[in-house]
Amino acid sequence: MARPYKIPQSVLVVIHTPALEVLLIRRADAQEHWQSVTGSKDTEAEELRETARREVFEETGIVCAEGLVDWNLENVYEIWPQWLHRYAPGVRHNTEHLFSLAVPAGTPVQLHAREHTALQWLPWEAAAEACFSPSNAEAILMLPRFAARA
């Protein structure tokens, strides 16, 4: 059975502690790529907040009971050529919706082994520098402003 095409609507969730240490996870399919939690909607009807909760749980094992903040910001970017095959023919851009999730320091993380191979907690500025994605780095650099509002 063929896999359905990915929906070009995704979330990026910056997971952080109160001290603004940011969780970064390393992609299994690109070992040099560190990132925050990301993922696409499973269905067109899925609410973005639910996508964010589901992706956080699938990728880290963290349950979003509270602390998930919708930044009401989005990035539209061109999909990297190596991942175009995951989308319907003609789809070239994705819309990424930004969220953050505050968790207590020491929150256990259980990575989804097929998607990610390592994790690290870094101070927010160092985390931004470590990200391969410019939009992910930019979101982390905005974290202090959004964390102060939460």
Annotated binding site for Mg(2+): 55, 59, 115
Q: Kindly state the greatest CA–CA separation across the chain.
A: 47
What residues contact residue 52 under an 8 Å CB cut-off, 6+ apart? 11, 13, 37, 64, 68, 70, 97, 99, 101
- Alpha carbon 113 to chain centroid distance? 16
Q: Which residues are annotated as a binding site for substrate?
A: 6, 27, 38, 133
- For residue 99, which of 134, 60, 69, 140 has the smallest C-alpha distance? 69
Q: Which residues are annotated as a binding site?
A: 6, 27, 38, 55, 59, 115, 133
